[in-house]
Structure 1
Amino acid sequence: MSDSTPHLPPAPPSTASLIRSSERLAEIPGLTQQALHWNHEAQARRAAVARDAARLARPRLWPDTIAGLLTTGARVVRTAAPAAPLQLLSTAAAAAGMRVEPADAGAGTLERAQRLVRAGGPAYVKLGQFIATAEGLLPQEWVEAFAWCRDEAPPLPDGVARGVVEAELGPVEDRFAAFDDVPLAAGSIGQVHRSRLLDGTEVVVKVRRPGLRARFRSDIETLALVAAAGHRWSEGARSANLAGFVELFAELSLQELDFRLEAANLVDSCAVLESLGATHTRTPRPLPGLVTERVLVMELLPGVSYDRLLPGDGLDGDRLLHLGIQGVLEATVRHGVFHGDLHAGNVLVDPGTGTFSLVDFGIAGRMDATQRAGLVRYLAAWAGEDAAGQVEAMRAFGAIAPDADVSTVVAELQTELDLLADRARGQVTFDQLGITLGRLLQVLARNGFRMPKDLVLFFKNLLYLSGFAASVAPDADVLAVVQTILLDVLADPQAGLAEMLEASA
C-alpha cells in the first residue's frame, strides 16, 4: 500500500534555535535568554489574541456594544455622514486587497470619512492607516488624504508618556540618562521617544496610549455591527466579506497592543535575517528588563524613510531594490517569518552605508512549511493565469477545506482572470498581482471561504515593494527581480522548496 501523504523536506531550523546561535543577539547581555522566553510565550499569546478577535468580530448587542454604537452615532451626527462608517470600513477592506464596491455615498464622501477618523477613536485611526498604505489598491486621493494617520496622530498630553514609563519601569532617572518628552512620532497605538540609557546607549522608547485596550475592543464590536448592517444592505459588502475583514483587523490590532509580542517579532526577525546572511538589513534589538505589555525600549537604528531619499545621496537604486525584495522573499519562503507592514515609514535607509533598518514590528506574518509551498504554488499559478492552481494553493492556508468542492470557485475566478487578461492585452505586470489576489479573495468570500491573514499580509508587502521600486529604481522591472530571486531560492537545495512543491503537487 502506497503512502499518499505528501512528504515534506526537513523543516528549517526553528526560530528558537536561530536565536540561540545568533551572534547579534548575544552582543547584548541577557538578551538571548530573554529572547527565548519572548519566543516561547508569544505562541500562546497569539493564539489567545486570535480567539479574542474572532469573538469581538461576531456582531452582538451587549451593554458595552450599545454604548459604542451610541458613541459612533454621535460621531456620525457630528460629521453629517450616515454612510461614513460603512464607507470607511469598506475602503479599509479594499486597502487590505479585498475588492469591495459599496453603494456610492455621493459627493463629499472622502471629506466625511476623514472627519469621522479624526473624531473617532484609535480603531478609526488604524483604519485610516490601512488606507494610507494602499498605494496601487486605492485611488491616490484617498491614500494621500489619510497619510497623516501613519505618523501624525495627536500626541499624548504632556507628561502622560513619562507617567506610563514610570508605572511600568520605575522612576525615569533610574533607567535613563536622558528622556525626550517630545515624541519622535505618534500613532494610533502609541508614540516613540528618543532616549539614552545610563551607559550611554541611544534608544527609542515606545509607549502605549493609556486605556487603549478597552477603547479598541468597543470600537471593534461596533465595526462588527457596521459590517453586519453592510452585509444586509450592500451587495458589494456581502461579496467582500466585511465580517472577515473585521476579524482580520481585530487580530492585527490586538496583537499590536501587546509590546511583548512585538519584542518577540523583533528578536525572531533579527535571528532569521542573520541566518540568511542579510547583513544589509537590521531590526532594532529590544533590551532585556525594559519591555512590558505597554512599554518597549529598543536600540536606535540609523536611516531615513526611503521615500525621503534625495538624488544627491548617491545610492544605487537597483541594488537597494534587489536587496529589499530579496530580504522579504527569502525570509518568507525559507523561514516563514516576515515584517507584516512594510510601508515607507517602516523601511529606513542609511544614506551613508546603503543598508536597511526595518522598524515597527507590531505586525508580523508567519507561515509554516505547507503554507510556504502554497505561496510558491500561488505565485506560479498567478504568472500562468491559472485559476485552478490559485484556488488549490489556498488549501495550504486553511482558506478552503481539504474536501471542499471548488469547481464553482475555479469557474468564477477563471472568468475574472480572463477579463483581466483581455484588459491587459496579454501582458503580465507586477501591479496585476494585487488585482488578481483581490479577485481571488472576493470569489472566496462569495462562496463562504475564509480569508488567509498571512497571505494577505505578504501580498500587501509585495505591493509596498512596488512603491519602493517607484522611489529608488523607477525604471526597474520589479516582476523580473521577483522571479529571479524566487528561482534562486527554488534552486537552492537547502531551502527544500522544489522537493516540497513536487511532493505536494
Structure 2
Amino acid sequence: MIPHISRLLELWRIAAHYRLDTLIAKDDLPVKVKPLVKIIALHPAAWSSKQYKNPERLKQALEDMGPLAIKLGQLLSTRRDLIPPEILNQLIILQDRVKPFDVHTVKARIQNSLKADINTLFQRFDEQPLAAASIAQVHTAALHDGKEVIIKVTRPDIKQQILQDFEILTWLGKHFENRLEAARALHVNQIIQDYRQTILNELDLTLEADNTRRMRAYFKGSDMMYVPEVYMESTDVMVAERITGVPISDTDTFDRLNIDRKRLAENGLKIFFTQVLRDNFFHADMHPGNIFVETMASQKPRYIALDCAIMGELSKQDQMNVARMLLAVMNSDFDQLVHIIYQAAWVPPSIDQDALAREMRRTVGPMVAKPMNELDFAGILLQIMDIARRFNLEIPPQLMLLIKTLIHVEGLGTALYPQLDIWKLAQPILSDWVKANTSPTKSLKHLRQHLPEFMLSAQEIPNLILESLSSLKTQSQWQDKQVRELQNIRIQLESQQKRSWIFGSMMAILISLALVTPWFIAIPLIACSAIIAAWRLAK
C-alpha cells in the first residue's frame, strides 16, 4: 500500500504549480524520466500556471517541498558541470538563503532550550538572520565577555514531515529493490534508512556540537583548516564562535586577494584524505554553504569547517579496502581492483573475476585517465552502478556516504581549480597510508597496545577449548544418532521390499494353481496360503 498519499498529492501539486516539467528541455531528459515529467503537467495546478521555464520557481518549489528537497538542491548546487547556469544560480541560494522563520519563534526556542532569558545569555542579539538553511537558521550575537558568536536554531515542526517523506522513500526503495538488480546490489533501502538516521541526528544539535569538538581536536594547530569553538548547546540550539571568511565558491574574492587557488584546492584534497584515512571521521555535507575560507591571511588561508552535523566513519577494513581500491584505479590495475573487491566479499564467489576486470578496464579505465577538468565522478559512479547490476556486485551502504562526499569534493575542486590533478596528488598520500598500516612495525605496535586485552582473552582459552570439545562431542553424538536412524530406515525399507517380493511371488503361484486345480481344492489352498502370507508379512 502506498504510504501518505496526501503527502504525495501535495508534492505533485507543488511540482505542477511551479511547472518543474518546463525547466529542462524534454530532449535532454533520460528516457525513463520523461513519463514522470508528463505526469506533472496533468495536475490541475499546472493548467492555471502561466510562468513557464522560470528557474526561480525551482528554488521556490524545493522550499515548499521541505527539508529533503532542499538537501537535494544543495547536492546538485555543487555540480556546475551538470546543471545549466540559470538553474544552478537558484540552487546555490538554497545553501544558506532559504525562507527564514519568525524571529519571535527563534527567541522562544533559544530561551526554552537554554533555560534563560535572551538578555541574560547575550549582550547583543541580532534579529536579522545571518543565514537560513533546510534544518536550521543562524543569528549573530555577542556574549557578555565580548566574544562574537553565531546561534544556530532548528526549524520548528519539521520532524513529522521528514518522517513522512522517508516513509515514502522507503516504499519507493523497496519497490525499486523488488524490480531492479542495481537497486538490490546497492542496498538502496538500507542507504535510505541510514540517511534517515543521519537527517534525524541533524535535528539534534547536541550531536553536531560533539562532532564539532571532535573535529576541532583533530585539527588543533593545523595550518590548513580551522574548526570553530562551541560554547553552549541543547537539542534545538547551538552557540559557537563566529568566524570571518567567504564560501569556497567565492572565486572572485580569491582572485581579488591574490589567493593561490591551486594551493587552496590541493589543501582541500589533502584535508579530505586526512579526514578519511588519519581520523576516520570525514565531513559528509561539503556544499559551499558549509566550507569557508579565511580571508585575513591571504598568503596562507585556511579552510573553515562549519555544520558538522553529517559526518562519516568507516570500519578499519573498509578504510583499507577504499585506499587499496583507489590506488588500483589510479594505477589502472583492474585485476588488483577486482581481487580487492573479491576479498571484501562484495561479489559472489562464483563470479568470473577475469570478466569483471575486463569490464572495469573497458568502461572505467578511459574515464579515470582524463585530467581533472574532464573527470566526471558522477559518470564513473553510473558506470560502476551498471557493472554492479550485471555482475551482482554489492556496494556496502557505509561506502555510499563516502561516494556522495567524493562527488561533492569533485564539484568543489573543479570549480576552484579546474586543472587540479587529483590522481597525482592523492597517490602518494594513499601509498604512504597503506604502507604505514601494513608494515611489521605497525603490526607490532598494534599487538603491544592490545597485549593486556590479549592476555585477558587468553585466560578464556581453556574454557573455550572445553566448550568447543563439548560442542564437538554433542555434535558427534547427534551425528551418530542420525546415522543409526538412517540405518534403521534402510533396514526397514529392505525388509519391506523383501516382504513385497514374497507376497507377490505367492500370489503369482496361487493364481497359477487356481487355473489348473479344481475349485473345491483350490479355494481351501488359496485361503490357507493367504493366511500364511499375511502372518509372514506381519512379522
Please give the TM-score of this superposition, normalised by the length of structure 2. Answer: 0.66
Matching residue within 113, 121, 146 for 2:66: 121
Contact 1:341 1:457 (C-alpha < 8 Å) held by counterparts = no
Report SS of the residue matched to 1:146. Answer: helix
Matching residue within 270, 286, 294 for 2:230: 286
CA offset at residue 429 of structure 1? 5.1
CA offset at residue 326 of structure 1? 1.6
What are the superposed Cα offsets for residues 90-138 of structure 1, whole Å, 9 maximum, x if unpaired?
Answer: x9xxxxxxxx973335698996865642431222222222222334566
Gaps of 5+ in 2: 39-51, 445-539
Report SS of the residue matched to 1:188. Answer: coil
2:239 maps to which residue?
A: 297
- For the residues of structure 2 that align with 1:327 and 1:364, how far apart are their CA atoms? 14
1:325 aligns with 2:296: no
1:369 maps to which residue?
A: 316
Cα separation, partners in 2 of 1:73 and 1:175, compared to 1, 3 Å: same
1:103 aligns with 2:50: no
Cα separation, partners in 2 of 1:447 and 1:117, compared to 1, 3 Å: farther
Q: Which structure has more helix as a fraction of its residues?
A: 2
What are the superposed Cα offsets for residues 63-112 of structure 1, whole Å, 9 maximum, x if unpaired?
Answer: xx34433433443554567999xx9xxx9xxxxxxxx9733356989968
1:352 aligns with 2:296: yes
1:311 maps to which residue?
A: 255
Contact 2:347 2:394 (C-alpha < 8 Å) held by counterparts = no
CA offset at residue 232 of structure 1? 7.5
Matching residue within 95, 100, 103 for 1:155: 100
Cα separation, partners in 2 of 1:321 and 1:427, compared to 1, 3 Å: closer
- For the residues of structure 1 that align with 2:236 and 2:81, how far apart are their CA atoms? 34
Letter in 1 for 2:383: R
Contact 2:276 2:282 (C-alpha < 8 Å) held by counterparts = yes
Contact 2:113 2:234 (C-alpha < 8 Å) held by counterparts = yes
- For the residues of structure 1 that align with 2:417 and 2:199, how far apart are their CA atoms? 32
Cα separation, partners in 2 of 1:414 and 1:78, compared to 1, 3 Å: farther
Deviates more, 1:124-133 or 1:206-215: 124-133
1:378 aligns with 2:325: yes
Report SS of the residue matched to 1:302. Answer: coil
- For the residues of structure 1 that align with 2:294 and 2:191, how far apart are their CA atoms? 36
Contact 1:382 1:433 (C-alpha < 8 Å) held by counterparts = no
RMSD (Å) for aligned C-alpha atoms? 3.9
CA offset at residue 435 of structure 1? 3.1
- For the residues of structure 2 that align with 1:234 and 1:115, how far apart are their CA atoms? 33
Report SS of the residue matched to 2:75. Answer: helix
Cα separation, partners in 2 of 1:299 and 1:457, compared to 1, 3 Å: same
Gaps of 5+ in 1: 1-59, 92-99
CA offset at residue 148 of structure 1? 2.2
- For the residues of structure 1 that align with 2:442 and 2:408, how far apart are their CA atoms? 27
Report SS of the residue matched to 2:219. Answer: helix
Higher RCO, Cα 8 Å, sep 6+: 1
- For the residues of structure 2 that align with 1:456 and 1:121, how far apart are their CA atoms? 23
Contact 1:417 1:436 (C-alpha < 8 Å) held by counterparts = no
1:210 maps to which residue?
A: 156
Report SS of the residue matched to 2:32. Answer: coil
What are the superposed Cα offsets for residues 434-455 of structure 1, whole Å, 9 maximum, x if unpaired?
Answer: 4334432444366666554443
Matching residue within 131, 149, 163 for 2:76: 131
The number of aligned residues is 418
- For the residues of structure 2 that align with 1:208 and 1:247, how far apart are their CA atoms? 22
- For the residues of structure 2 that align with 1:367 and 1:284, how far apart are their CA atoms? 25
Cα separation, partners in 2 of 1:310 and 1:403, compared to 1, 3 Å: closer
